[in-house]
Amino acid sequence: LDDVKYFVKHVIGGVIQAIGDIEIPTIAAVNGSALGGGCELALACDFRILSDDAKIGLRETALGIIPGAGGTQRLPRLIGYSNALLWILTARIFTANEALHHGVATMVTVKDQLHATARQLAEEIMANAPIAVRQAKKAVQLGLNTSLQNGLEIENECYNAVIPTNDRVEALKAFQEKRKPKWSNS
């Protein structure tokens, strides 16, 4: 039993936590089934794009356990307490459209467009200043689990971190010159 506890906490949970801690935006492209740990892996990402025939859910309570790799913590932060309990306590398998309706899926697309849709979202994000993207993600992540006042302070710190950057200066110059900015990530 100790081996199972260690494996779930440090191996599976560690990998999923490492994904959740990445400072750049992460996108899960779900094709087929993402059940249990697969769902928890998707929940650790910032965006979840599902193929229209995908299935997703936290099935652990049907197996006599609970989600042990972040599902009980990430899901309610994403979709609220009652909806998270619906997912966890019923152990239902949800369709892609149900996941979209509940707020678990960011987008649903046809199966043959799944990777193209994920890539398009990534490119849309990458068109913006890298430092600003990282600081915006940081502000949202850190502010989510604190009071509004503390969240506003975090936002201000992240805002102040982008002010002295070359990318901000380049963005203003590009705006004045009516062209796309050339980001230097500095």
Catalytic residue list: 40, 60
Render the burial of 159-183: b for 16+ CB within 10 Å, e for the rest: eeebeebebeebbeeeeeeeeebeb
Q: How large is the greatest C-alpha to C-alpha distance in the chain, in angstroms?
A: 64
Phi and psi for 27 in degrees, rounded to 5? -130, 125
The Cα 105–Cα 126 span in angstroms is 21
